[in-house]
């Protein structure tokens, strides 16, 4: 039997008390499993549409501890913007790792948003200074809200600084942060001001061209580069910013396949592959150091990986089963 979890069911499961903390724990465990050889994560192949800008990515993973093999088909279709549709759409297929039976089919939107923010929270915990008090957010969409929700509980942040291309959206996000999460939030008119004043900076925009420049950075900052789509020509940080940082990636092979933050400096000859070989799982297991000094600039280059999808799919499948939620069908009938 196959469990089908719609977006509304997934949203309800993730809204439960303690769910976001469990997601963060699951994502951290998945990265440790990868570092310890208990999970498999190949680089995702990109299938380009021959007659347009669209692309499809098959994000696969397998985990022995979670007993699953999964693949998320991610559609990245810029033309959808003009249609009034989401640019990115996805669904996750989960199979039993032992029998190959199709265990579940899950809508990918909420799952992706929450696991992405959870990975950022895990990386920030491992890499940011212990005395970081100011969180900067570039971008105002659903991913920004998910990040603020994921990051604020982990540290005693005193302020959140917000910038967005649409001032009204930035004001709305800042008001929500202050009213709902209880942390003062302030809107800035440009990304430079947010960057210069943030201890922890999250870039959460689908930008093609850099929003953050190297000469804006100050010693001791931690940066999470998250928002750029999986395209080699898109990035939120310029080459100078990347070169100033010690880089940690979620997965080396995936970053090499689809991260503009590393591929563009690599093509320019400004960066060698060794500079971004350190994976988050290696830091979490102690195989690689986290932050080494208070003055060091650290960068988590988040491209999003299928193993994060698998970890959260396992959590959602188990929670839905316990609560009798979702639709069960027999695909073989």
H-type alpha helices, the chain: 7-14, 19-35, 80-83, 109-127, 142-151, 167-176, 191-197, 239-244, 252-258, 260-268, 280-284, 306-323
Domains in the chain: ranges and CATH:
2-111+307-329 (3.30.1780.10), 128-304 (3.40.50.720)
Give the pairing type, strands 68-76 and 55-63.
Answer: antiparallel
pLDDT in tens, 127-155: 999 999 999 999 999 999 999 999 998 78
**How many helical (H) and strand (E) elements, i.e. helices and strands, does the chain have?**
12, 15
Look up the pTM and report it.
0.95
pLDDT in tens, 81-115: 889 898 889 999 999 999 999 999 999 999 999 99
Token readout for 15 is 């809204």
pLDDT in tens, 175-195: 999 999 999 999 999 999 999
Residue 215's pLDDT is what?
Answer: 96
Residue 46's pLDDT is what?
Answer: 83
Token readout for 158 is 């005193």
Residue 210's pLDDT is what?
Answer: 95
Determine which helix (DSSP H) or strand (DSSP E) holds 109, and give its type and residue range.
helix 109-127
Mean pLDDT (the chain) is 95
pLDDT in tens, 41-63: 999 888 887 777 788 999 999 99
Cα 92–chain centre separation: 16
pLDDT average, residue stretch 270-288? 94
Model confidence at 208, pLDDT cuts 50, 70, 90, reads confident
Token readout for 99 is 């029998």
Residue 230's pLDDT is what?
Answer: 78
Model confidence at 245, pLDDT cuts 50, 70, 90, reads very high
Model confidence at 76: pLDDT above 90: no
DSSP state at residue 54: -
Measured distance CA(62)–CA(58) in Å, rounded:
13
């Amino acid at each position: 039997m196959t469990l089908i979890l719609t977006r509304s069911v997934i949203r309800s499961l993730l809204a439960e008390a303690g769910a976001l903390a469990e997601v963060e724990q699951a994502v951290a465990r998945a990265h440790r499993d990868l570092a310890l050889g208990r999970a498999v994560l190949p680089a995702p192949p990109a299938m380009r549409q021959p007659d347009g800008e669209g692309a499809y990515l098959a994000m696969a993973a397998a985990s022995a501890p979670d007993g699953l093999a999964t693949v998320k088909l991610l559609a990245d279709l810029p033309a959808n913007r003009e249609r009034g549709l989401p640019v990115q759409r996805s669904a996750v297929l989960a199979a039993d790792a032992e029998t190959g039976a199709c265990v579940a089919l899950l809508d990918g939107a909420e799952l992706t948003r929450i696991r992405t923010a959870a990975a950022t929270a895990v990386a920030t915990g491992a890499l940011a200074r212990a005395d970081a008090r100011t969180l900067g957010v570039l971008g105002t969409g659903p991913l920004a809200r998910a990040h603020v929700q994921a990051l604020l509980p982990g540290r005693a942040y005193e302020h959140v600084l917000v910038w967005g291309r649409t001032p009204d959206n930035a004001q709305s996000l800042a008001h929500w942060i202050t009213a709902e999460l209880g942390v003062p939030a302030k809107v800035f008119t440009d990304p430079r001001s947010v960057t210069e004043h943030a201890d922890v900076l999250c870039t959460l925009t689908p930008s093609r061209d850099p929003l953050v420049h190297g000469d804006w950075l100050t010693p001791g900052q931690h940066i999470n580069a998250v928002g750029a789509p999986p395209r080699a020509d898109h990035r939120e940080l310029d080459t100078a910013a990347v070169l100033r940082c010690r880089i940690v990636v979620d997965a080396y092979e995936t970053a090499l396949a689809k991260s503009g933050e590393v591929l563009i400096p690599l093509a320019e000859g400004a960066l060698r592959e060794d500079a971004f070989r350190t994976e988050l799982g290696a830091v979490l297991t102690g195989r690689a150091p986290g932050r080494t000094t208070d003055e060091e600039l650290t960068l988590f280059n988040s491209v999003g990986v299928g193993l994060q999808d698998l970890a959260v799919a396992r959590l959602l499948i188990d929670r839905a089963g316990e609560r009798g939620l979702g639709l069960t069908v027999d695909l073989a009938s």
